[in-house]
Amino acid sequence: MPRQSISVVQVADPAAAAALVADEIAQLALAQRRGGSALVLGLATGRTTTAVYEALAERVLARSLELEGAIAFNLDEYCGLSASDPRSFAAWMRERFFDRVGWPGERTRIPSGLAGEDCERHCADYEASIRAAGGLDLQLLGIGRNGHIGFNEPGSARDSRTRRVRLGPETIEDAARDFGSAEAVPRFAITIGVATILDARRVRLLAFGEKKRAALERALHGEISSDCPASFLREHADLRVYADAAALGQSLPRKASV
Ligand code: GLP
């Protein structure tokens, strides 16, 4: 059932949101360690989340965050790119975070862009690995201009799982800056599903800047439907949205937590 109120936290800038998210992750990591289990994080790439990796890396280096034993599952990857391709999300994550904090490859999972004919099995295995790890404790998310989460483009079903998807025009346009041109952007990607995201115990969605205003407005206040996959997040029991004034625009927080 849709929640009665959504926890929306208005922040001054991405760094302010990053500090709050990184502190929460540090507390979760500590609680999990004390409880004898490992933290399982769902991670997202993109400009929106860059400050979060900065903040997390600072905490690891300052020893206020211990990631030993923790496992990360990334949301998505472009089809056709190897993990060593500098344009892959795998390379993006290594450069901005995993290598900086020495998080080893066997505990940082990202869908393979080279699964090819084995794609279906690879996607099922990825879902199974998340379940085997005990499920995601916290899923970090950005939002696409078209309301996508991960690469769950408009049309993605509430019960969708990890799968190969065709990228929509806005997504290709936005990715063009990372590939030199829209033509060079892969047309397909692997993404975890909407249902996989909703299974996470906590979801933290970040959105900054005017460009995200319309998508965030639909996600928070529009109809809950596949037309805006992020709107399904309102069915999650522990969703928190961190957004700046530009992204919130007219959709002022219904309930500000800070
Ligand atoms: C990308 C990723 C998403 C990300 C979104 C927003 O294509 N697949 O996981 O949240 O689009 O990206 P950005 O933060 O760069 O605006």
99-125: pLDDT as tens digits: 999 999 999 999 999 998 999 999 999
| pLDDT at residue number 146 | 98
* Domain locations along the chain: 5-248
pLDDT tens for 65-81 read 999 999 999 999 999 99
Indicate the CATH number of 5-248 among 2.40.170.20, 1.20.1090.10, 1.10.10.10, 3.40.50.1360. 3.40.50.1360
CA of 141 to the centre of ligand 1 (A): 8
State which ligand 1 atom lies nearest to the alpha carbon of 142: 10
Angle 50-61/14-34 helices, nearest 10 degrees? 50
Ligand 1 binding pocket (C-beta < 6 A) is 44-48, 75-76, 142, 144, 150-151, 171
CA of 144 to the centre of ligand 1 (A): 6
> Active-site residue 146, yes or no?
yes
The closest residue, in CA terms, to atom 10 on ligand 1 is 142
3-state secondary structure of 81: coil
**Set 54, 146, 152, 174: catalytic member:** 146
| pLDDT at residue number 230 | 98
pTM of the model: 0.95
In this prediction, residue 6 has a pLDDT band, given cuts at 50, 70 and 90, of confident
Report the residue among 21, 50, 174 best suited for mutation to probe ligand 1: largest number of ligand atoms under 8 A from its CB: 174
Q: Where are the alpha helices (DSSP H) in 8-84?
A: 14-34, 50-61
CA of 135 to the centre of ligand 1 (A): 22
CA distances from 50 to 95, 142, 143, 221 (A): 11, 10, 14, 26
The encoded tokens of residue 226 equal: 């596949």
